[in-house]
Amino acid sequence: MEVTLITKILLAVVVLNLLVWPLVSKWVENHLEVFLLLVGVAAVTITGGWNKDFIYQTFNAPVNVAFIVLVVSIIFNYYSRYIFRVLFILFRYLEPKYSFAILVFLLGMVSSICSVTVAALVLAEVLQVVNLEREQTVKVTVYACYAIGLGAILLPLAEPLGLVIYNELAAGPHQADFFFVLRHFFWWIVPGIALMSLATGYTVRNANTQVQLHIREDKEDHKSILRRTWHIYLFVAALHLISTGLRPFAQSTIAHLNGKILFWANAVSVIIDNATLAAIEVTPNVTTENLMYMVIGLAAFGSMLVQGNLPNIVAAEKLNIKSREWARVAVPAGLVLMSGYFIMLCIKL
């Protein structure tokens, strides 16, 4: 669709609100999913995207994610004592700086197989039964979600970004198969996961006498589990609305930029689902160089804000991490990560 100037201006206002209000308003911070839903409704209304099929998709899109959250939460609630007895072997025999670093690295590497939702829930469950200070908990969560978001793209299983890349490139000159992203991006993604793991280890380096592992005997009540599942459902529905509403804005402003500029322009993935951006940017005839800039930018930028990526939302909801807490850690970490990636891409490509 052709986007008029007034539509671009209104959508730019939507983007500005998405970036600012979660960081400056206590009410928005405490009701983030409601705020995102309202903004998503506004964005879709501005672009005239309402129809029966879209409304159905909006209600249906969060179902799978919410179902996974519900099932995994119930499993952890009743069987966590058995699950964590195995996991705690890692913590008992290694110093926290090594055990946490290994945990984050493993979550990043397996997130493309087990799903980002499960990886984020495992992380949150561990942090709930390990006695870290609040600041350390927030930092570990942020670094781990960066690692999970990076690793998730390696196979078209865990999140839509990898699947979109696979689908878009399967029929073109790239002839992408199931392992296309794994082959081309493995040695780019692993250093990022390793860096986040090292940052995690450094964060808990002085926690030797503070970390106390305990098997949780009490069970979470069903209302709490259902409330968290409902919140995740609303979050995902809101992201679907926002991504659809802002799609014309992204198409008209960033879709035709070259790879180096797109790398930084993809910072908008903190508010627009990265799979939506990939569907706009990745075409069958895209050059390998531009593809590198696009995909790495999309994979890494999303963790800067809570609403930028699904694992962020799941972990922050479970651990009650607020938007400002998240951003204070995630924005500097993301800028360091992305600057490092950009420099290496410019050198290697």
Q: What is the pLDDT of residues 224-267, one digit of tens each?
A: 889 888 988 998 888 889 888 888 888 887 767 888 998 998 88
- Overall average pLDDT of the 5-30 stretch: 88
Give the pLDDT of residue 276.
Answer: 76
Distance (Å, whole) CA 218 – CA 76: 12
Confidence of residue 123 (pLDDT cuts 50, 70, 90): very high
| Radius of gyration of the chain from its Cα atoms, rounded to whole angstroms | 20
Residues 6+ apart with CB under 8 A from 3: 11, 47, 248, 249, 251, 252
Residue with tokens 């589990």: 225
Model confidence at 73: pLDDT above 80: yes
CA distance from start to end of the chain: 34
Give the pLDDT of residue 141.
Answer: 97
Query: Domain residue spans in the chain?
Result: 5-348
List, for residues 177-191, the tens digit of each pLDDT value. Answer: 889 989 999 999 999
Model confidence at 212: pLDDT above 80: no
